[in-house]
Amino acid sequence: MSTLSGVAVSPGRARGPVARVAEAAGEPPRAPAPADRDAEAARIAPAAEAVAARLDALAAAAHGEAADILLTTAAMAKDPALAGEAERLVTAEGVPAPRAVFDAAAGFSRSLTAAGGYLAERVRDIQDVRDRIVAELLGVAPPGVPQLSTPSVLVARDLAPADTAGLDPATVLALVTEQGGPTSHTAILARALGIPAVVAVRGLLDLGAEALLVDGDAGTVEPADPRAPVVTASRRAAEWNGTGATADGHRVAILGNIGSVADARAAVSAGAHGAGLFRTEFCYLDAPAEPSVDEQRAAYAAVLEPFAGTPVVVRTLDAGADKPLPFLAPEPEPNPALGVRGLRVAYDRPEVLDRQLDAIAAAAADTGAVVSVMAPMVATAAEAAWFAERARAAGIGRAGVMIEVPAAALAAREILEVTDFVSVGTNDLAQYTFAADRQLGAVAALNDPGQPALLRLIALVGEAARAAGKPAGVCGEAAADPRLARVLVGLGMTSLSMNAAAIAPVGAALTATTLAECEAAARLALAGG
C-alpha cells in the first residue's frame, strides 16, 4: 500500500487506529411523504432513545467536563418534547421522520435563541442531538468528531476550528485531513494542542486503512498494521537559553500566540517573554450569543493571568471567513474572506467592539498583565486611527493593528503615524497577496510565506517601523519557522510571536545568528535565493 503526501502542519509522528469524522448528512428532504404516517412517527422515539443510551454509555466511560456534557446531551435526547413535536409533524403534515426531527429542533433552537443567555448557549446542544437522531433514523454514523474510547488517528475531509479546539491530545494521536491549508485555523489549533497533523492529503478518504502512521514533519501518511502498538513521538525540544536576542545582542522579543488558558500556560513554560497575539475569538467559536462584559472579563483574565507583569497583545474579535461567530454573522456573502470580517464587523456594530475593549481593560487591571490591543483586517490608515481612538477611549494605552492586507503593508508609514505598533499576520497577508485561499490544500504552495513578493511587503513594514521608531512584529505562522525567523529579523521585525512548541527552536536559531547574518539572509530571500 502506498504512502500519501500532504502538507505537514504540526510536528511529531504517531501510529494508531483510524477514527473517521463522519460528515453531516445535510438537511433531510421533505419528500416523499410517508405512506404510513403512524408507522413513520413511531420510529422517532426509539431513535431518540438509542441516541440517549449511546450518549449515557459514553458519559459513563468519560470523566469530568466531558462526562457532564455527554450527560446533558443525553438528557436532551430523552426530552419527550422534541420527539413529540417531530411525531406531530409526521402525523399532521406528512413530513418524513428525519425532516420532522430537523424542523422540530429548528423550532426549539429559535425559542432558545430568543430567550438569550444560558438558554441560547444550549442551541448547539440541540443541534447536536438533532444531527444524532437524524443520523440514527437514516442509519448512518453521527456527524462530527467521534467520542474516542482508544487513542486514535483522526481522519477527516476537513475539520472546523470549533471541532479542532475541542480535541483531546490524550486520545487524538494525530490529525489528517484530505483538504485544508497550512495556515488554516484548524492547522494552527492542532499545533497549539501539540497534535501531529498533516493536511491536504489527496486520496486520504479512499485509502481505507484501519491504522495509519502519520509523520507531521515529513507530511506523509501511510497505512500501518492495525495490530502494531500505538506510538507517538514528538519532536525533541531545542536547547534555548531564553534570551530574546541574536548572538551579537540585537534584541528580539520571543512571544507566544495564545487562544486559551492552556496555550497561555504552555507559552509561559516554554519561556515566552509575553504574548504577541491573543486570538480572543478562539474563546467564542461556539458561543451563540455575545458574551456579557463580565463574562468576557473573566475569560480574558483567566488567559492573561499567567502573564502578570509581562506584555500581552490582545487582538479584538476576528470573526468571519473560517472563524464565523454566530453572534457576529454578516449577511450571506459570496466571498467571506473578502467580506465583512475582522474589524470590518465593528463599523456597523461599534458597541460590540466597545464592550470588548471595556472587558479587556478590566481584565488587564485584574491580572496586572501589560496589555495592548490590536485590530484584525485593517486595510487603511483611517481604519487604524478609528480603532486606536476607541481603544484609548476605553483606557487602553497602547493600540496597534495587524498588517495582513497588502494595502496595509503599503500604507505602513501612515498607519504607524496613528498607532503604537503593528504586527504582520503572514497567514492572511500571504492569502491576500497571492490570491490563494489559506484553507485550500490545492493552493498550499502559494501560501508559502518565504516567497520574495511577500517578504518585500514585510520589508516595507520593517522600513516604516524603523523610520517611525515603533515596533513591528510578526504573529503569523512564518514567525514559527526558525529559518524564516532569521529573515524576518533581517527585515526589521522587532518581535516574533508563535505557538509554544516553536518558541525554543526559534529562540535558539536567533541566539546562534548575528544581526548581520539575518540581514544577509533577508537580502538573499528578497532576491528569491
Provide the annotated active-site residues. Answer: 185, 475
Contact 228, 13 (CB under 8 A): no
Q: What separation in angstroms does the CA of 333 have from each of 88, 181, 281, 337?
A: 36, 21, 20, 9
State the amino acid at position 291 in one-letter form. Answer: P
Of 126-134, 408-416, 422-430, 486-494, which segment contacts ligand PEP by CB under 6 A?
Answer: 422-430
Largest CA distance in the chain: 82
All three cell numbers of 467:
523610520
Question: Which residues, numbered 484-513, are part of the site for ligand PEP (CB under 6 A)?
Answer: none
Can you list the positions of beta strands (E) in 21-101?
none
Complex with ligand PEP: residue 267 or 277, whichever CB lies closer: 277
Among 109, 177, 426, 499, binds ligand PEP (CB under 6 A): 426
318 binds ligand PEP (CB under 6 A): yes
Shortest spacing between CB 129 and ligand PEP, in angstroms: 31
Interacting stretch for Mg ion, rule CB under 5 A, among 60-68, 131-139, 305-313, 419-427?
A: 419-427
Considering the complex, state which of residue 204 and residue 484 has its C-beta at the smaller distance from Mg ion: 484
Reported as half-sphere exposure (CB side, CA atoms, 13 A), residue 403 has a value of 32
Query: Smallest gap, in angstroms, from Cβ of residue 355 to Mg ion?
Result: 22
Counting contacts by CB under 6 A, is residue 476 touching ligand PEP?
Answer: yes
Query: Out of Mg ion, ligand PEP, none, which partner does residue 344 contact, by CB within 5 to 8 A per kind?
Result: none
Task: Report the partner that residue 419 touches, choosing among ligand PEP, Mg ion, none (CB closer than 5 to 8 A by kind).
Answer: none
Residues with Cβ within 8 Å of residue 324, at least 6 apart in sequence? 336
Q: How far is the CB of 404 from ligand PEP (least distance, A)?
A: 5
Task: Mark residues 391-410: x for contact with Mg ion by CB under 5 A, - for none.
Answer: -------------x------
Nearer to Mg ion, 404 or 477 (CB): 404
Of 244 and 425, the one with the shorter C-beta distance to ligand PEP is 425
Cross-strand partners of 371: 312
Shortest separation between residue 426's beta carbon and ligand PEP, angstroms: 5
CB of 300 to Mg ion, least distance (A): 19
> Is there binding between residue 425 and ligand PEP (CB under 6 A)?
yes
- Rounded to whole angstroms, the Cα distance separating 330 from 430 reads 24
Q: Which of 404, 420, 437, 481 binds ligand PEP (CB under 6 A)?
A: 404
Judged by CB, which is closer to Mg ion: 281, or 428? 428
Minimum CB distance to Mg ion, residue 475 (Å): 9
Chain positions 421 to 450 lying near Mg ion, rule: CB under 5 A, are 425, 428
Residue of 90, 360, 381, 475 interacting with ligand PEP (CB under 6 A): 475
Q: How far apart are CA 510 and CA 214, in angstroms?
A: 30
Under rule CB under 6 A, which residues in 179-218 are in contact with ligand PEP? 188
Q: Nearer to ligand PEP by C-beta: 132 or 323?
A: 323
Q: How far is the CB of 142 from ligand PEP (least distance, A)?
A: 30
Nearest residue (beta carbon) to Mg ion: 428
User: Residue 97 or 429: which CB sits closer to ligand PEP?
Assistant: 429
Element (DSSP H or E) covering residue 498? strand 495-498
Q: Does residue 263 interact with ligand PEP by CB under 6 A? A: no
- For every residue of 260-329, DSSP letters joined together read SHHHHHHHHHTT-SSEEEEEGGGGGTT-SSPPPHHHHHHHHHHHHGGGTTSEEEEEPP--BTTB--GGG-
Q: Which residues pair with 172 in a beta bridge?
A: 152
41 lies in the site for ligand PEP, by CB under 6 A: no
CA dihedral 172, 174, 175, 176 (to 10 degrees): -140
* Whether the Cβ atoms of residue 128 and residue 144 lie closer than 8 Å to each other: yes
Q: Does 279 bind ligand PEP (CB under 6 A)?
A: yes
Residue type, 175: L
- Ramachandran area for residue 274 (φ above 0: left; ψ -120 to 50: alpha; else beta): left
Please state whether the peptide bond connecting residue 32 to the residue before it is cis, i.e. omega within 30 degrees of 0: yes
Of 412, 407, 411, 384, whose CA–CA distance to 473 is shortest?
412
Q: Does 281 bind Mg ion (CB under 5 A)?
A: no
Q: Does 400 bind ligand PEP (CB under 6 A)?
A: no
- Residue 17 interacts with ligand PEP (CB under 6 A)? no
Which of ligand PEP, Mg ion, none is residue 475 near (CB under 5 to 8 Å by kind)? Answer: ligand PEP
- Taking the C-alpha atoms of residue 199 and residue 177, their distance in angstroms, rounded to an integer, is 5
Minimum distance, C-beta of residue 478 to ligand PEP, in the bound complex (Å): 8
Contacts of 438 (CB under 8 A, 6+ apart): 181, 182, 183, 184, 427, 428, 430, 431, 447
Q: Which residues bind ligand PEP (CB under 6 A)?
A: 188, 277, 279, 318, 404, 425-428, 475-476
Q: Which residues bind Mg ion (CB under 5 A)?
A: 404, 425, 428
